[in-house]
Chains A and B, each alone.
Chain A
Amino acid sequence: MNGSLQQDVNQETFTINLGPQHPATHGVLRVKLVMDGEYIVEAEPVLGYIHRMHEKMGENRTWAKFLPNCGRMDYLSAMSYNHGYVAAVERAAGIEVPERAEYLRVITVELNRISSHLLWFGAYVLDLGGFTPLLYAFDDREQILDLLESVTGSRLTYCYFRFGGVYNDIDDSFITGTREFIKRLRKRMPMYDALVTKNIILIKRLKDIGPISKDMARRYGATGPVARGSGINFDVRKHEPYSVYPEFDFDIPVYEEGDSMARYMVRMDEIEQSMRIIEQALDKLPEGEIKPQKAVKMVKPPAGDYYHAVEAARGSFGVRIVSDGTNTAYRMKLRSPTYSNLSLFGEATKGMLLPDALALMGSLDLVIPEIDR
């Protein structure tokens, strides 16, 4: 326990539970807080309320049968998880992917990233007490869900990618719909900027609140917008290029401040960058197959271990697979970004006011099923 806060004999601490059911945790996360008045002495997240053991499931079903599991970890950016898993298996089994399929993957992943950031944006402002932006954000997000539903068949828990390709080709209505959506969102972003980002209440709640230093982010292995909000220029799409990302021109927003505002700004800027990628991908979209010529029937990667990481909406999602050469994984490790991002919460919130800690927690963009897996 923090000695300096306890030294005063007139002070005494008490323990409270934040969660497991609390609107600010967006799921079943419990944080044990030792409080000194309004100040946090110690915060300890308690995980595992919706732990489903996806890694064990990976060991008792064939490679292909695990595909639907990917959409059920991070349900807000399920597409990235699809991508991480199929890319890892493709690397292990040496499966080639047609170029058009890679383009479709990038388009859908980036659309999914925008929808994830929009939901985070609405929910975060809701955490801070502003209700209206949530409704605007959901209005925009709804367009993406409709678009993705027309291609993938599902609105949230996508299972769109297959080994060596994707399940379904896009049609003209998807392309025009996506272009229209981007036009629409471009018009809406200045409104979000004026309504929320420049709002003095939001700035006062976020500026200089919950600083995370570069070194802290590194020691805890934080990635994604959390790292980029702390001045770390790290994005798997650029750092370790995969799929067809090297063919697109886009920037990685990085903010040096390390406070909640910086993490907020990173995500808001990323929406624009994702739109740029989608536009370029639609312009350059090649004709051709979306699945390998010879259907991939039974995947049996040679024995050995393989790793593949992708940039999900919340950071670096990595899949480490250990194969024994059979049609089932010997071991499947799923490295989820928020697990590492949340692990710094205890250190980052020491001595912080409780409402500020909630502002910090929201800026981490937690998705509990992905932490618990």
Chain B
Amino acid sequence: MLLAKIKEALCGLYEDIQAEVKEIPEVATEEVVADATDAATDEVKPEASDAAPSKETRTEENAAEQKETEPEEAVEPVEVPGPKETDYKAKGYHLDVELSPEKIPEAAEILNREGFFIESIAGVDWIEEKQLEAVYDFNHFDELCRVVVRTRTARDNPEIPTISHIYQGANWHERETHDFFGIKFTGHPNLEPLLLPEDADFHPLLKDFKA
């Protein structure tokens, strides 16, 4: 129940990506231009949950149109970006939401509205891909629904907007992640070392850290 609701609400965050995915192969047709403006007006609406379902159906319609006009492109399975339901028993969480860094505060606001609380933020250093990942764990007090929001940022200049103004508890989690990984949470009121010494200029959980 809650899972479906939050999934639908979070779907709204993917509108522009979903729009992009279908815009690229269909720039030639005039209909799409009208469609794109529709999408833009949808986005202005503050209620993301309202916009999401209509958007989804539109994606399907478009996909159908696409099949008729350009069959060779439609054969290629395009994975529609969006929140993914996971096998809870195997993974330990219900919903996996991968977003670009600038969408994180928006996602936090949606989760906050639905009454979720933040459990933790975990950094992961993907050194081979030259990326740093931040994994936000959210949970709900009333109903079992674990939502994992994750984002990746460039390893040489890691920046993610803060959510500490939405979830005050994130303040320390972000400071900790900054300590260990050097991820800069932009807009954070006090990104000083928390667990490391106050003059620490190293980030021990980076894979290339040498003691």
Contacts and interface: CB of A to CB of B under 8 A. Distances in A.
Interface string B128-152: 0000000101010100101010000
Interface stretch (B15-23, B56-64, B154-162, B167-175): B167-175
Contact of A308 (B92, B167, B194, B195): B92
A182 interface: no
Contacts of A221: 117-120, 167, 169
Contacts of A344: 168-169
B197 A339 contact: no
B14 interface: no
B120 A219 contact: no
A128 B190 CA distance: 33
Contacts of A91: 89-92
B195 A320 contact: no
14 contacts: A47-B195, A55-B180, A91-B91, A91-B92, A220-B168, A221-B169, A232-B141, A234-B141, A307-B93, A316-B119, A318-B119, A320-B122, A333-B122, A335-B120
A354 B148 CA distance: 39
Interface in A278-314: 304-309
A218 B119 contact: no
Contacts of B135: 305, 320, 333
Interface in B157-197: 167-169, 171-172, 180, 193-197
How many residues of A sit at the interface, in one of the four size bands? 35 or more
A227 B194 CA distance: 24
Nearest to A214: B141
A373 B120 CA distance: 14
Contacts of B180: 55
Contact of B144 (A239, A320, A333): A239
Interface residues of B, number: 34
A305 B90 CA distance: 10
A343 B146 CA distance: 22
A331 interface: yes
B204 interface: yes
B169 A343 contact: yes
A40 interface: no
B39 interface: no
A306 B92 contact: yes
Contacts of B89: 91
Given A91-B90, A306-B92, A343 B168 contact: yes
Contacts, number: 98
A306 B93 CA distance: 8
Contacts of A219: 117, 167-169
A240 B194 CA distance: 31
A218 B137 contact: no
A304 B91 contact: yes
B205 interface: yes
A88 interface: yes
A61 interface: no
A218 B138 CA distance: 11
A333 B168 CA distance: 20
B208 to A, nearest CB: 13
Contacts of A335: 119-120, 137
Nearest to A227: B141
A74 to B, nearest CB: 16
B115 interface: yes
Interface string A126-166: 00000000000000000000000000000000000000000
B134 to A, nearest CB: 11
B118 A307 contact: no
A80 B71 CA distance: 57
B91 A306 contact: yes
A51 B176 CA distance: 12
B124 interface: yes
Nearest to B207: A59
- Scoring A59, A219, A308, A330 by chain B CB atoms within 10 A of each residue's CB, the highest score goes to A219
Interface in A216-248: 217-222, 227, 232-234, 239-240
A62 interface: no
A2 B107 CA distance: 31
Given A48-B193, A91-B92, A344-B168, A218 B205 contact: no
Contacts of A217: 117
Interface string B33-65: 000000000000000000000000000000000
